[in-house]
Amino acid sequence: MEYRVSPRINDFAVKLANVNGTGSASANGLIMQAIFRMGIPVSGKNLFPSNIQGLPTWYEIRVNGDGHVSRALDYDLMVAMNAQTYDRDLKEVRSGGYVLYDSSWPLDDHLLREDIHLIGVPLARMCIESFAEPRERTLMKNIAYAGAMVALLEIDMAIVEALIKESFSRKPALLASNTRALRLGYDYAKEHFACPLPFRLSPMNANADKILIDGNTAIALGCLYAGVTVAAWYPITPATSVMDGFKNLCEKYRKDPETGENNYIILQAEDELAAIGMVIGAMWNGARAFTSTAGPGISLMNELLGLAYYAEIPVVVVDVQRVGPSTGMPTRTQQSDLLECAYASHGDTKHILLLPGNPAECFDFAVKSFDLADRFQTPVFIVSDLDIGMNDWVVPKLDWDDSYRPDRGRVLTHDEIEALPQFHRFLGENGTQIAPRTLPGVHPKGAYFTRGSGHNKFGLYTEIPDEYQEVMDRLLLKHRAAASAVPPALIEERRNAEFGVITVGGCDAAVREAVENLAANGIFADFMRIRAFPFGREVEQFIADHEFCFVVEQNRDSQLKSMLILETAAPKEKLQSVLVYGGFPLSARTVVDEITRQLTRVPQPVSIRKGK
Amino acid sequence: MPSIAKPAVLHPSAQRNELGLTLRDYEGSMSTLCAGCGHDSVTAAIVRALWELSVEPHKLAKMSGIGCSSKTPAYFVTGAHGFNSAHGRMPPIATGANAANRELLYIGVSGDGDSLSIGLGHLCHAIRRNVRMVYIIENNGVYGLTKGQFSASADVGTKSKKGEANRMAPIDPIQLGLSLGATFLARGFSGDKEQLVPILKAAVAHRGFAIIDVVSPCVTFNDHTGSTKSYLYTRQHRIRATETDYVPPATEILTEISPRGETAVTLHDGSVVRFSAVPADYNPSDRLAVAKFLQENAADGRIVTGLLYVDEATPNIHEMNNTPAKALTSVPWSKLCPGAEMLNALQEEFR
Ligand SMILES: Cc1ncc(C[n+]2csc(CCOP(=O)(O)OP(=O)(O)O)c2C)c(N)n1
Ligand code: SF4
Ligand SMILES: [Mg+2]
């Protein structure tokens, strides 16, 4: 029997199995970027270990002319470069698919499958023959398999060579060896195999106004453009590249051309408690400041987040979520900090969350977060995740409106303070729930005593129940008022929809695709992606408008669903969870399977049927 | 400061400083600490020093953590901004505040629990960053506010009110500071305002992080016989190792130089700290020698007070980070936002 995959153009998935620390990342990125430059919708997902060298690591590339680029689970081509994981990697190839492996050594018989095609390229041997240095031999194997892929998938060779030139424009020796290695693989594939494979690329024009960017870099850019001058952080995966990116940008764009001085300061704090403390101090003084961290860091910041909330000090926290309680899986993705961020700290606290679904939103929301923090004088979290933050996504080119000016909220000027008979810090202004603040050093009459201890609306210490509650009640109203200022949920409706599907963050692409695939099977659903907390009215309305809704999220305990139940009038019975929390980016197939299973298995929520 | 209400009418003879302000203008709300608490005397010394220095009240930021000591910023300079933060976390908050606006004067008030236990890590790193601020530790060997548990500065053998002896070695912020590269280290005693005021003034003028460890007895939980942080014990065991004057910038030095071997350190703003008396061969810029001097005295059971170490050469946080001389909060928008054209151009990198 002949096993064949169907011939396809711009619609396939490749998985590359590598060993961490051997230089495969640049080869994989090269392929991804070349496909992007061919104008074809593409995604690249890095599934890497928490390790510097030696452990298995994978990279997945999905190409889809229709723009569906969430993680695919059906691999047409496996580039198997890690003998340790041959076993599992070869099992993952779809029937009729292909395996590109290093044929310098024979494959063990037990690995063979009659329904897949082997493409053996003697990468190690060719590189040993062509390169002298041991390190170079290892590195060039990666470029050589990239060369073979160029031939097999019909990647535009001119584009690949141009990319290599751009990377090594100042290192002629490396340019020469990379070009040579690329050709080695390419020529070998052309000579020994039928190129291209049945699935292949063909140039499109889908990326003219697009860029390829990761969410962490986009957040860093947003912080630069929002006018951040103080940043404080403690290194943690997967948030580290936010601050690395911010530093790079500051070195380029914030060195004063006249004086050579730095119009910024980045403080690598001793821990996350200090990092958030520094941000609080800086924003108390009127700077725009932020910190970037992941779940463990948020845990540590809890006490001071309560201080910022209660003392009404603006703060911006970037949380790039990773997996699990404790150390968990630092290099894997999840959405398990939603509750932690929404209600961070002891006592009665509620925070504003911005929940980007892709790097373009990371940029926009980063800028927005400062306006919201300043306006509402409260902590604002940008809750991203590892998938958005560390993988390159194809998104529309970022836009900037030069007329933008920071919304600093109600900060009293020298003259405004002067005109006041007396300044009281915590008096809400004309029913807005926002109490004008003063900055230190501006005017003698603006001085007040900031404290996290019980205070009344005049800013004075209190232990009197009514006085305490009065301030706390205003804070709650202030939080509610933010619901109309945050980005609204994105809703996509469909004719004949029978139920709703609600999701958040980086699940966006997979859930949208799933909803389309369900529709193709005659199951129609409306789609809503929540983009902020407090929830806008549209969120409650969406749930009210549907008989029931699925809530798709990447955590074990249905955190988004819990928040919807807590914070809207939605009855609990109306919401059904689809939970995927193993640490890899979500795939549409998982969502379709799970929704279908729940639809067929569970008779639709009994209580609702009864109610109607 | 005494816990009695002040007369509403100023005495007409109240002296005025360069800003035309009286001492009263540097006071704060009435203290709620126990009568006789050492911390109130430290407050009085701060009031005096700031008044004498003619510090503009609203250009002062009073920072603190949590504890009886950390409450005291409410009791001086009502016209200044205050930030009574969270237990142990004042150093990073002050660091961030200073990073954003270096043009204010920062005075931090902390306790030995606040600084040497829960906030010890932060203190160490604020020292390393050489954040320009005055950092006062009102050191009473106990946690006053939580009713008298031993703190990390309790000496070996010191006894709690109930008679329990501490067995763990104390953390001495001065020794700690010396080992971490601190640039200004002094120890005072709340019962000696005359010594403390010039030290405070020198600390204000210092270019970096100025630590003043002030033995400040807790009358309620640690002033009994058997305590090594009581008034009596401190008076009996304290030596005024160095005598200092603070001489403001551009002031002619007229006083006679003491025969006890003097030296002077010129501070960043041109003011001078004159060591009018120091022990033989004492060099307040020699880190190793100062450490040795302190250790020898500690071994002999003496509490060394005075301005002990000054390093005016090490760059502070802003100098290390090459920031402008003006506050970062005053950098104009045009210099902060690279604009649409630049965003367009820089995205070529993402193609
Ligand atoms: C996170 C946290 N843990 C514990 C406390 C309780 N607490 C308040 S003050 C204090 C100790 C204060 O001691 P110290 O800093 O020496 O100040 P003192 O009262 O002695 O002046 C403690 C443990 C707290 N406020 N916050
Ligand atoms: S308990 Fe001790 S430290 Fe606190 S106010 Fe009273 S005397 Fe001062
Ligand atoms: Mg104490």
Q: Helix A215-226 vs helix A359-376: angle between axes, to the nearest 10 degrees?
A: 40
A-facing residues of B in 76-135 (CB < 8 A) are: 78-86, 89, 91-101, 103-104, 121-122, 124-125, 129
Is residue A134 located within the same domain as residue A164?
Answer: yes
A351 located within any domain: yes
Average pLDDT value for chain A = 96
DSSP track, B110-124? EEHHIIIIITHHHHH
- Does any ligand 1 atom lie closer than 6 A to the CB of residue B142? yes
Kindly provide the residue ranges of all beta strands, DSSP E only, lying in A322-445, ordered along the sequence: 352-354, 379-385, 392-396
Is residue A342 located within the same domain as residue A418?
Answer: no
A576 located within any domain: yes
Residue A81: the pLDDT is: 97
3-state secondary structure A81-128: CCHHHHHHHHHHEEEEEEEEEECCCCCCHHHCCCCCEEEEECHHHHHH
Domain boundary among A437, A455, A484: A484
Segment A477-482 shows an average pLDDT of 97
CB B198 within 8 A of CB B246: yes
How many percent of chain A have pLDDT more than 70? 98
A205 located within any domain: no
Is residue A389 located within the same domain as residue A420?
Answer: no
Domain boundary among A171, A200, A229: A200
Is residue A174 located within the same domain as residue A279?
Answer: no
Is residue A161 located within the same domain as residue A259?
Answer: no
Is residue A434 located within the same domain as residue A525?
Answer: no
Residues with CB under 5 A from ligand 3 (ion): B 111-113, 140
Is residue A45 located within the same domain as residue A138?
Answer: yes
Q: Do A440 and B97 touch (CB under 8 A)?
A: yes
CB B148 within 8 A of CB B227: no
Neighbour-count burial of B335, counting CB atoms closer than 10 A to its CB (0-12 exposed, 13-18 middle, 19+ buried): middle
> Taking the CB of residue A220, how many other CB atoms lie within 10 A of it?
29
B-facing residues of A in 421-480 (CB < 8 A) are: 439-444, 446-453, 461
pLDDT digits (tens, 9 = 90+) for A569-611: 999 999 999 999 999 999 999 999 999 999 997 555 544 433 3
- Does any ligand 2 atom lie closer than 6 A to the CB of residue B41? no
pLDDT digits (tens, 9 = 90+) for A363-384: 999 999 999 999 999 999 999 9
Domain boundary among A130, A165, A200: A200
pLDDT over threshold 80, residue A335: yes
A324 located within any domain: yes
Is residue A273 located within the same domain as residue A369?
Answer: yes
A224 located within any domain: yes
- Does any ligand 1 atom lie closer than 6 A to the CB of residue B31? no
> Taking the CB of residue A134, how many other CB atoms lie within 10 A of it?
9
Q: Do B323 and A37 touch (CB under 8 A)?
A: no
A316: domain range? 213-396
DSSP run (H or E) holding B294? helix B287-299
Residue A17: the pLDDT is: 97
pTM above 0.90, yes or no: yes
CB A612 within 8 A of CB A532: no
- Does any ligand 2 atom lie closer than 6 A to the CB of residue B229? no
pLDDT digits (tens, 9 = 90+) for A348-361: 999 999 999 999 99
- Residue A518 pLDDT grade (very low, low, confident, very high; cuts 50, 70, 90): very high
Nearest CA among A243, A272, A216, A238 for reference residue A50: A238
Q: CB within 8 A of A182, min separation 6: which ones?
A: A143, A144, A146, A147, A150, A160, A161, A164
- Chain A residues within an 8 Å CB radius of B124: 270
Cis peptide upstream of residue B12 (ω within 30 degrees of 0): no
A177 located within any domain: yes
Q: In angstroms, what is the span from residue B170 Cα to ligand 1's centroid?
A: 17
pLDDT digits (tens, 9 = 90+) for A5-16: 899 999 999 999
Is residue A503 located within the same domain as residue A557?
Answer: yes
Task: Supply A475's token pair.
Answer: 């804070």
| Helices within A285-377 (DSSP H only) | 295-310, 338-342, 359-376
A401 shares contact with chain B (CB less than 8 Å) = yes
ipTM of this complex: 0.95
Q: What is the CATH number of the domain that holds A595?
A: 3.40.50.920
Q: What is the CATH number of the domain that holds A87?
A: 3.40.920.10
Q: Can you give the length of chain B in residues?
A: 351
Q: What is the CATH number of the domain that holds A274?
A: 3.40.50.970
Classify each residue of A398-427 as buried b or exposed e, where b means 16 or more C-beta atoms within 10 Å of its C-beta. bebeeebebebbebbeeebbeeeeebebbe
Neighbour-count burial of B137, counting CB atoms closer than 10 A to its CB (0-12 exposed, 13-18 middle, 19+ buried): buried
CB A298 within 8 A of CB A340: yes
Q: Which of A251, A266, A267 to mutate: most B Cβ within 10 Å?
A: A267
Distance from CA of B177 to the nearest CA of A (A): 17
Residues of chain B whose pLDDT is less than 70? 1-13, 251-261
Total domains present in chain A: 4
Classify each residue of B160-169 as buried b or exposed e, where b means 16 or more C-beta atoms within 10 Å of its C-beta. bbeeeebeee
Q: Which domains does chain B have, with CATH numbers?
A: 23-330 (3.40.50.970)
A402 located within any domain: no
pLDDT over threshold 80, residue A200: yes
Is residue A234 located within the same domain as residue A143?
Answer: no
pLDDT digits (tens, 9 = 90+) for A39-65: 999 999 999 988 888 899 999 999 999
Euclidean distance between CA atoms A249 and A217, whole angstroms: 9
CB B173 within 8 A of CB B235: no
A378 located within any domain: yes
pLDDT digits (tens, 9 = 90+) for A549-574: 999 999 999 999 999 999 999 999 99
State the DSSP code for A262: B
- Chain B residues within an 8 Å CB radius of A414: none
Q: In angstroms, what is the span from residue B67 Cα to ligand 1's centroid?
A: 5
A-facing residues of B in 126-145 (CB < 8 A) are: 129
Nearest CA among A400, A385, A304, A200 for reference residue B65: A304
C-alpha angle A598-A602-A605 in degrees, rounded to nearest 5: 110
Is residue A298 located within the same domain as residue A348?
Answer: yes
Is residue A445 located within the same domain as residue A365?
Answer: no
Which residue(s) pair with B135 in the sheet? B108, B211
